[in-house]
Amino acid sequence: MSEMRVIGIRVNEPQNQPVLLLRESDGERYLPIWIGQTEATAIVLEQQGVEPARPLTHDLIKNLIDALGHTLKEVRIVDLQNGTFYADLVFDQDLRVSARPSDSVAIALRAGVPIYAEEPVLAEAGLVMPDEREDEVEKFKEFLESVSPDDFKATDG
């Protein structure tokens, strides 16, 4: 299992599909996850420190967790099946709730908790981008031009 950091949200052209880009904190692999526009907006707003006048859905979820007396410990991206990623919200007393990675990351950013990816997920979908001296954003843009979500669907074999 590797701790991941959020690089940011990019848009895959020409489909205008947001992509969440994670990178190993102590490694070279990147993990791109295609997500919805609403979740992308929630992640970007939190990264930019924008506080909406009223709580957005992910803010509400964090507020509910706090109000119910629980503590979110971490988020784990636990599986990849047929091109779909799966995540768990891990709470105190090892309580786990399954969630989409996009929602999980948006909540993790608000709660200030670490994000991890299981090794089998990274082995299947993690990417090493060459020439570490280049700017991460530029490397990712080049990568997006060469792939589609179908490239991450599991194959029999």
53-108: pLDDT as tens digits: 898 899 999 999 999 999 999 999 999 999 999 999 999 988 999 999 999 999 99
Which two three-digit tokens encode residue 61? 């979820």
- Percentage of residues in the chain having pLDDT higher than 90: 62
Which sequence spans correspond to the domains of the chain?
Answer: 2-132
The model's pLDDT over 29-64, given as tens digits with 9 standing for 90+, comes to: 999 999 999 999 999 999 998 888 898 899 999 999
Q: Model-level pTM greater than 0.85?
A: no
Q: What pLDDT, in 10s, does the model give residues 109-130?
A: 999 999 999 999 999 999 887 6
Q: What are phi and psi of 50, to 5 degrees?
A: -80, 125
Please determine, for residue 16, whether its predicted confidence score (pLDDT) is greater than 90.
Answer: no
CATH class of the structural domain 2-132: alpha beta
How much is the pLDDT for 66? 92
Nearest to 43 by CA among 105, 124, 1: 105
